[in-house]
Homo-oligomer: A and B are copies of this chain.
Amino acid sequence: MQLRRGDVLDGAMAILDEYGLGDLTMRKLATSLGVQPGALYWHFPNKQTLLGAMADRILDGVAAPPTAPTWDGALSELAHRFRAALLAHRDGAELVAATYASRLTTARVREAFVAAGLRARLSRAHAELAGYALLHYVLGHTVDEQSRLQLAELGALTRRPVSPDVSTETAAGSDDDLLDGDPAVRFDFGLTLFVDGIRTRLHTGGATSPGPNVTPVQSN
């Protein structure tokens, strides 16, 4: 039974889900597949490429056409789908963020955002920029959400070993409870700011910096 490229990918995803990105090494992956480390390099030229393929798999389907009838609904649907895909695998957000520079992966997701922006009758240029901004927001939020989640799980097991590498505690302490609140609420709030910002852009006709392409239209 020969090793196929897909088997390597499956094995890598399994290690990711069970042990996390930090424990995903080529050597451990090889061992789990019952093969020598060098064998992997016949299927993938290097680790970075393998990680890219994993990111692609994680984001598979995220960019499918949204079903929501309104542009803002579509935008929200895509953003939620994106976040859910990242959260569906251990360190999923971190992996996608790390592999993001060599995208192709995220390009399709951004294009889906752009399409929704065009539906709102944003100019192509503005839709591009909005998609870009939205992508960054969702990714940034979710990386943070997931890392807090995993810190919390770790803390729940070992009783307050929080921030083991920091001597002085965060000076804040007062309002942390809010950040410990439902991450979905935090996510939605930021999303709403974006959507409302886009709506404003439509009504004012783009009064601000990025050029004078106007055409005001209501949001339908």
Query: Is A193 part of the contact surface with B, judged by Cβ < 8 Å?
Result: yes
* Nearest CB in chain B: distance from A56 CB, A: 10
* Binary B-proximity of A142-186 (CB < 8 A = 1, otherwise 0): 011001100100000000000101101011100100110000011
- Closest residue of chain B to A168 (Cβ to Cβ) is B104
A209 contact set on B, CB distance < 8 A: 185, 188-189, 192
Provide the residues of chain B in CB contact with A178, threshold 8 Å: 125, 128-129
Interface majority SS (helix, strand, loop, mixed), chain A? helix
Number of copies: 2
Which residues of A are interface residues toward B (Cβ below 8 A)?
45-46, 48-49, 52, 72-73, 76, 97, 100-104, 107-108, 111, 124-126, 128-130, 132-133, 135-137, 139-141, 143-144, 147-148, 151, 163, 165-166, 168, 170-172, 175, 178-179, 185-186, 188-201, 203-204, 207-210, 213-214, 216, 218-219
- For the complex formed, measure the closest distance between the CB of A21 and the CB atoms of chain B, giving whole angstroms: 12
**A194 near B192 (CB under 8 angstroms)?**
no
Collect the chain B residues with CB atoms within 8 Å of residue A194's CB. 193-194, 197
| A143 CA / B196 CA spacing, docked (Å) | 25
Instruction: List chain B residues, Cβ under 8 A from A107.
Output: 170-172
A16 to chain B, nearest CB (A): 18
A125 / chain B contacts, CB cutoff of 8 Å: 178
- Bound-complex Cα distance A211 to B46 (A): 47
